[in-house]
Amino acid sequence: MRPPVVRFAPSPTGRIHIGNARPALFNYLYARKNHGRFILRFDDTDVERSREEYAQSIEVDLAWLGVEPDAVYRQSQRFPLYVAATEKLKAMGRLYPCYETADELDRRRKRQIARGAPPIYDRAALALSAEERAAFEAEGRRPHWRFRLEPGAVRWEDMVRGLSHIDASSMSDPVLIRGDGTWLYTLTSVADDIDLGVTHVIRGEDHVSNTAVQIELFEALAGAGAAPVFGHHNLLTTSSGEGLSKRSGALSIGALRDAGVEALAVAALAVLTGSSANVRAVHSLGELAGMFDIANTSRQAARFDEHELRALSARTLHGMDYEAARDRLVARDIVGHKAEPFWLAVRGNLARFAEVDDWWRVVEGEAPVAHEDAELLLAAREALPEEPWDAKTFGAWTARLKEATGRKGKALFHPLRLALTGRDNGPEMAALLPLMGRTKVLARLP
């Protein structure tokens, strides 16, 4: 089997959120796992709502998630392809002009419903004579163009839902071209998928109803069996079951990034929620790709919990090795021989990566200190070992103090931590002490 070609095709009409990240990651991980290609295609034919700034932000957001496209296309630059597809369908008699206004169609649907008939288009336009069409155009009407569906069931083997079918006879012939001459998504998407060699279309289950039309379009434009493999996954919803909105903002990828949420946590939650795999922290997208199997996606809604995301983000940091963190530490001027042991010491106490700055000040800078139990701290100064220090130094120091003062437990450890770090809790003092050094420790003891 040849390597798959998949695509993520957002409309640049807003910023993508974690729900949009789900199909992007599904496609990217499927391509990566099967040595295929991942295409980013902007469906930007809606000139009124599409914005270049949104397209750029989508690329930035995908890059932050680690999703790197093999190619990027814009539908606004591919109009000749859609013109050719349009003319081919017209020549085949599969695309026909209709002159009904929206009001006329609405009244017709209401009459059908009143009679108990299905409210589908009755193909009245197919019976129009050339003279009748000319008369409509003389009135100033401009046609919209419908794709004539073949009767019968359209069947496909869905990657998630298994054997699926839709009876095309129960559907209205879909409009592919509006009265103003602009294309709807259906035609441009299929023309692009054929031209770009897309082999698998992985998308949300809200597109299931489009599949029969698209399969017929694939076969009309490229021949029998030309349709790709389809996979319709469940949608990510809020914890209360509501759909996620591109315009809500709070769960946009950019907002999550600005809030300090880890990219790998966003990816893991977006992919593993609503599947048979347990949601857990991962070290790389490669690891996540190994866990990903679209066939294991549940048919139930995938409920997203923002609190779970925050906790998962923290766990992602806690398990992050130094190599993965190094460039981000360098960007914050956390460098030198202390950088690696420092990261290993503090990572388990981070909720957000930016908190490393606070702990670096504890180690290298001037940390706010507080003194309690002056008698203990005076004894601590007297008992402080000489350097060199290592991971055993703190234990040896506190053992001396315990013997000298009789203090133990919180009464022993809390005054030391507070004096040296200014915090009631934090990383193991045994790991921090060698990083701070004897001079700094002495300066923080009264």
Q: What is the DSSP string of 293-353?
A: -GGGB-SS-EE--HHHHHHHHHHHHHT--HHHHHHHHHTTT--STTHHHHHHHHGGG-SSG
pLDDT (0 to 100) of residue 249? 62
Cβ atoms of 191 and 198 closer than 8 Å? no
pLDDT (0 to 100) of residue 248? 54
For domain 324-446, the question of CATH label 1.25.40 is answered with no
Taking 90 as the threshold, does the pLDDT of residue 240 lie above it?
no
Per-residue pLDDT band for 68 (boundaries 50, 70, 90) equals very high
Cβ atoms of 198 and 229 closer than 8 Å? no
Taking 60 as the threshold, does the pLDDT of residue 246 lie above it?
no
Identical fold for domains 253-318 and 324-446, yes or no, is: no
- Alpha carbon dihedral 420, 426, 427, 429, in 10-degree steps, equals 30
Taking 60 as the threshold, does the pLDDT of residue 160 lie above it?
yes
pLDDT digits (tens, 9 = 90+) for 121-147: 999 999 999 999 999 999 999 999 999
Per-residue pLDDT band for 244 (boundaries 50, 70, 90) equals confident
Top CATH class of 253-318 equals: mainly alpha
| Number of neighbouring beta carbons within 10 Å of residue 13 | 16
The residue extents of the domains of the chain are 5-80+184-236, 253-318, 324-446
Fold of the 5-80+184-236 domain:
Rossmann fold (3.40.50)
- Rounded Cα distance between 40 and 205, Å, is 20
